[in-house]
């Protein structure tokens, strides 16, 4: 069944009625799937989607780089830049690595550092779907950072449900609706039977209840 934009906007209107919090909440799209055999690898969703509108609550991006690329990444506004020495210092510090994985949304790594990043952080970042995007030393890091802040990961792993952050409550309903439609479009193209494999769709804030998006 198709998903009408009017239904998305109506659900967002209901979401706004939930109890206000003293922080800016994220807004999540929730999809419950059906009639999918997750034992087949091709039916497991693990996609990156570029949203039309980045969240005003900025995505936190960490860059592993050295030399000129590290300098340009700092100038371009990377939230954190770690060189080889800092990466080596993380080795064996599981607590620090887990904290990094929890507090960082997206990772970028200079290609010459990818092997080391994989060795040190791979066991933690891999299962979370957060392995770094490799870039060459001469990469246009400012453009890459801007794009990464628009990217989200949509994945279900071994469960028939997906929950993806598509924005924050300080964004307009029109912007949030655009982002929701981008994710729905990707799901429709990726699922074996398109939206027929989506049993329920809903939207929620971090602390709020799920509001169903009606489908006709």
57 pLDDT tier (thresholds 50, 70, 90): low
Write down the architecture of domain 5-56+151-212 according to CATH: 2-Layer Sandwich (3.30)
Classify burial at 143, counting beta carbons within 10 Å of its beta carbon; exposed 0-12, middle 13-18, buried 19 or more: exposed
* Average pLDDT of every residue of the chain: 92
19 pLDDT tier (thresholds 50, 70, 90): confident
The predicted-structure confidence for 151-184, as pLDDT tens digits, reads as follows 888 988 778 999 999 999 999 999 999 999 999 9
Could you tell me where in the chain the CATH 3.30.190.20 domains are found? 5-56+151-212
How many C-beta atoms surround the C-beta of residue 100 within 10 A? 19
Could you tell me where in the chain the CATH 3.40.50.790 domains are found? 61-148
List the CATH code of the domain at 61-148.
3.40.50.790
Q: Which residues contact 168 (CB under 8 A, 6 or more apart)?
A: 24, 25, 26, 27, 55, 56, 57
Query: Does residue 8 contact residue 175 with C-beta atoms inside 8 Å?
Result: no
In this prediction, residue 4 carries a pLDDT of 94
1 pLDDT tier (thresholds 50, 70, 90): low
Backbone dihedral angles phi then psi of residue 90, each to the nearest 5 degrees:
-75, -20
Query: Does residue 64 contact residue 132 with C-beta atoms inside 8 Å?
Result: yes
CA distance 129 to 180: 21
Helix extents (H) in 51-134: 67-75, 84-90, 94-103, 114-125
In the predicted model, what is the mean pLDDT of residues 196-205? Answer: 95
In this prediction, residue 56 carries a pLDDT of 66
In this predicted structure, which of 36-50, 74-88, 101-115 has the lowest mean pLDDT? 36-50
In this model, does residue 120 exceed pLDDT 90? yes
């Amino acid at each position: 069944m198709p998903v009408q934009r009017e239904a998305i906007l109506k659900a967002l209107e209901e979401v706004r009625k939930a109890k206000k919090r003293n922080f800016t909440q994220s807004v999540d799209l929730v999809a419950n799937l059906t009639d999918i055999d997750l034992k087949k690898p091709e039916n497991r969703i693990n996609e990156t989607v570029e949203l039309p509108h980045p969240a005003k609550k900025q995505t936190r991006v960490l860059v592993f780089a050295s030399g000129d690329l590290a300098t340009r990444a700092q100038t371009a506004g990377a939230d954190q830049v770690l060189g080889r020495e800092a990466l080596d210092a993380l080795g064996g510090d599981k607590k620090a690595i887990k904290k990094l994985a929890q507090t960082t949304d997206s990772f970028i790594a200079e290609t010459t550092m990818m092997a080391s990043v994989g060795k040190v952080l791979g066991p933690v970042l891999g299962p979370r779907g957060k392995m770094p995007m490799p870039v060459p030393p001469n990469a246009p890091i400012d453009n890459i950072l801007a794009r990464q802040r628009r990217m989200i990961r949509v994945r279900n792993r071994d469960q028939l449900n997906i929950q993806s952050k598509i924005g924050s409550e300080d964004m307009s309903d029109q912007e949030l609706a655009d982002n929701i439609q981008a994710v729905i479009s990707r799901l429709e193209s990726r699922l074996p039977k398109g939206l027929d494999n989506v049993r329920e769709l809903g939207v929620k804030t971090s602390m709020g209840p799920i509001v169903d998006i009606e489908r006709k």
